[in-house]
Amino acid sequence: MLTAGQMSDIASAADLITDLPEGAMLLADKGYDANALRTVVTERKAWANIPPKANRKDPICFSPFLYKARNLVERFFNKAKQFRRIATRYDKLAENYLAALKLVTIRIWLRGNESTS
C-alpha cells in the first residue's frame, strides 16, 4: 500500500494486515507500538512482536531474539533506496512509483540469485 509521505506509519497498519494469517508474527518497529494495533493483531489470532516505546506504562511481551529477523526488511529498503528514482520519489503518480519499485525489487532479487546460478 502506498501512502502519502506525511502520513504516519501506523495510520494504515490495520489495513495492511487484513491478510495476516492465523498464527503469524508481525514484526514492526517502535512506530507501530499502539494498543489498538496489538488488539487488531490479536483478533486475527496472530502475535505482534513490537518493541515497546520508552513511554509505555504497561509491560508487554517482546522477544529481541525474534525481532532480529526484521533486519531483512530494513536491508531490502536500504537496497531499494540506492536507486535514485525510488529514493527521491521521482514519479508523482502512485501507480508509476509502485511499478518502479516492483522493477527495483526484481532487480535486487536477481542480484541476490546471481551467485547461485
pLDDT of residue 69: 86
Domain boundaries defined on the chain = 1-69, 81-117
Predicted structure pTM score: 0.70
pLDDT in tens, 29-78: 888 898 999 999 999 999 999 999 888 888 888 888 888 888 888 899 89
The per-residue DSSP string of 57-85 comes to: -S-----HHHHGGGHHHHHHHHHHTTSHH
- Summarize the confidence of residues 69-97 as an average pLDDT: 87
* pLDDT exceeds cutoff 70 at 113: no
pLDDT of residue 3: 67
Q: Which helix H or strand E contains 113, and what residues bound it?
A: helix 94-113
Rounded distance between C-alpha atoms, residue 90 and residue 97, angstroms:
8
